[in-house]
Structure 1
Amino acid sequence: MKTKALGAALAVVALSPASATAAESLIGISGKSDLVTFSSATPSGIAKKPVTGLQPGESIVGIDVRPADNLLYGLGSTGRLYAIDPARGGVTPVGAGPFGALSGTEFGFDFNPTVDRIRVTSDVEQNLRLNPSTGALANTDGGLAYTAGDPGAGSDPKVIGAGYTNSVAGATMTQLFDIDSGRDALVLQDPPNAGGLKTVGALGLAVQDTGGFDIAPTTQIGWAALRKDGANDAELFQIDLLTGKATSRGRIGGPDPVRALAALGTAQADATAPAGRLSVRASRNLRTLRSKGVSFSVRCNEACTARATVKLGGTTLGTARSTTDLAATVSGRARFTSRGRRALLGRSSARISVTVRVTDPAGNSRTLRRSVSAR
């Protein structure tokens, strides 16, 4: 367990985040270099595609949207800068270098909107600036360190995410916030080039040393993909830039941690029911049917939960539930209850109904039906 000492929070930020009336569309990097997209309203439902076109052995360690051209950029583990196509996952190298050598394993990566430069921070106190037009190192800035008198002074920061406020084209003012997983705190990097860190406040939970962080340009809401200490699943947290408090908005779908995050803008409201095709497998032999139950599968075009109910007339024989975090086939087996098995006793034949209700993370649902005859 990590030992933290936060002390009094620094009250220097003057932000008025917009109310979270609309969901944010977010994109992250998980696994070996997979793009995962999801809505802040329903983070458990993801779309995933691999990043293609990287150099052998290279991975993406940071992503952000550049305010100057509204394109998505990514930082490779070799220090190379890429433009990323979020729809297809393909990358295009930016410039021919020389590229800055990276130090560390976890990185913050964000555009300073006032000067159109990329800030790169790391969990071993690295602090760089990159030129987004050439990909070259613009400057090696002062190492990250807590300022004298701060509650964190004397501790080694472990910055795993960074985000600028007011990240829109033509911005004239901005602030840079970081997440320090070593102290489980939100900090202000001020001045950014000098690397001085000032504690804003505690996240309110202990987190692991892998994650992503960004600040939505239009709402000024901080979003972080983090794993609590001891947890396997990543969660989406809303970060209060005034206090540092992290509020969970739910589990992020998929088995892998998210190590980079970028806000894409307002997410479109999802009012469309998932599309799916239902397949049912069951024995035509009544005795075997009683003992084995009914298997089903549904090919969902998005993240979904399938709830199956098997009935004989008005009697429920058995139920089952299966879930997928992304477009995939969900399957399950409805084994019959003792009551259900008794309902089939003494019958020479039976015609049973299989109803599967398929629901996406936004609550939209579709009902699929099949029937099975046995004797």
Structure 2
Amino acid sequence: MRHILPTLSLLLVSTAGTLEAQAAAYAITTNARGVQQLVRFDPTTPGSVSTLGPTGARLTGIDFRPATNALYGYDGNQLYIVNQITGVAALAFDVGNTTGNAGFDFNPVVDRIRVVDAGGTNLRLNQITGGTTTDMPYTFASGDVNFGRRPSFTAVAYTNSDTDAATGTTLYGIDSNLGQLITISNPNGGSISTVGSLGIGAFSTITGFDIFTRGGVNTAFFAATSVGATASQLYTIDLTTGSATLVGGIGADNMVEGLAITAVPEPGTWAMLAIGLAAVAVAKRRKRGIAHLERA
């Protein structure tokens, strides 16, 4: 019996160490009846989609707040908190206006929301007060392959989306007109640089883009609908080259209008941890019972 507790404790520690996170993707889509809904899927197998429910709004972007893991949404002039179980979007604040499809993502370092649109609007939203700051527009840097062109962002995402400010962060954007990945060195405005072509052909300006961080590794996911198609495809993007790699179609007839990736515990690890805890508890009770008999 003396060896049971150390052994089980070791099991518990090793089990806790396997509580790594896998990714869960949430997306806003519009069904054949024109109803916008929140769906969830595994980004490694996007063909199987679970519909959570209608948003009750017309959101153009969603993202998880790293500090709380709450899901936020934006419709062009209002900020919402989205129920991750039912899909319902609850109004939080009236905020700054954008036009068309907008990029929407939390800056994990300063805990504020970045919103940009294809027309050049560049906003900072405060999800706590509802305050809006209008920042300078972006321009391609001198010498860049796209110098002189006006950027047209429909999606943005930050790297290192975690709660450790020391890791820093970089903002990337999707220019739907150019079909290219862009890096934004200063989110508050200024020069930007072209990373490279996505290489997926022409696609709709209705897109979804997010970067999932795990163990210090950033994986960029991009949902796009090819021109003339009725359903979106999911891609991963190489942040060093801009090249996109197809993962697969997202369900059936799901046109994605916003994408957010979050971490969830792997299903089996919680069960393993529970078994380990139960075993330790049983061992402790047995040890107390033996000690009681020895004292009697």
Q: What range describes the TM-score normalised by the shorter chain of this pair?
A: 0.7 to 0.9
Aligned partners of 1:133 and 1:75: how far apart in 2? 14
1:282-361 map, 5 Å: none
SS at match of 2:48: strand
1:186 is matched with which residue? 181
Counterpart code for 2:263: G
Q: What percentage of residue pairs aligned between the two structures are identical?
A: 36
* Displacement of 1:148: 1.9
Aligned partners of 2:116 and 2:199: how far apart in 1? 23
Aligned partners of 1:117 and 1:213: how far apart in 2? 18
Q: 1:214 aligns with which of 201, 210, 215?
A: 210
Aligned partners of 2:88 and 2:264: how far apart in 1? 23
Counterpart code for 1:214: D
Question: Is 1:143 equivalent to 2:137 in the alignment?
Answer: yes
Greater RCO structure (CA 8 Å; 6+ sep): 2
SS at match of 1:68: coil
* Displacement of 1:266: 4.6
SS at match of 1:209: coil
1:47 is matched with which residue? 50
* Displacement of 1:195: 4.3
Distance verdict in 2 for CA 1:253–1:127, change over 3 Å: same
CA displacement 1:168-227 (0-9 Å, x = unmatched): 113231000001111111000121101432101111122222111000022410001012
Q: 1:253 aligns with which of 227, 251, 254?
A: 251
Counterpart code for 2:135: D
Question: Is 1:200 equivalent to 2:195 in the alignment?
Answer: yes
TM-score (norm 2): 0.76
Question: Is 1:25 equivalent to 2:19 in the alignment?
Answer: no
Aligned partners of 1:202 and 1:267: how far apart in 2? 34
CA displacement 1:319-340 (0-9 Å, x = unmatched): xxxxxxxxxxxxxxxxxxxxxx
2:238 is matched with which residue? 240
Aligned partners of 2:128 and 2:251: how far apart in 1? 34
Question: Is 1:153 equivalent to 2:152 in the alignment?
Answer: no
Q: Give the greater-gyration-radius structure (CA).
A: 1
Aligned partners of 1:129 and 1:168: how far apart in 2? 19
Aligned partners of 2:190 and 2:164: how far apart in 1? 24
CA displacement 1:124-156 (0-9 Å, x = unmatched): 11110000112221x101113212221111222
Distance verdict in 2 for CA 1:230–1:165, change over 3 Å: same
SS at match of 2:251: coil
Counterpart code for 2:149: S
Aligned partners of 2:47 and 2:25: how far apart in 1? 12
Does the aligned pair in 2 maintain the 1:29–1:36 contact within 8 Å? yes
Counterpart code for 1:42: T
Give 1 or 2: higher strand fraction: 1
Distance verdict in 2 for CA 1:259–1:267, change over 3 Å: farther
Question: Is 1:130 equivalent to 2:125 in the alignment?
Answer: yes
1:105-116 map, 5 Å: 105-116=100-111
TM-score (norm 1): 0.61
1:175 is matched with which residue? 170
User: What is the number of residues matched between the two proteins?
Assistant: 241
SS at match of 1:151: coil
1:67 is matched with which residue? 66
Aligned partners of 1:267 and 1:68: how far apart in 2? 17
CA RMSD of aligned residues (A): 2.0
Question: Is 1:84 equivalent to 2:82 in the alignment?
Answer: yes
The answer for unaligned runs of 5 or more in structure 1 is 1-20, 271-375
SS at match of 2:47: strand
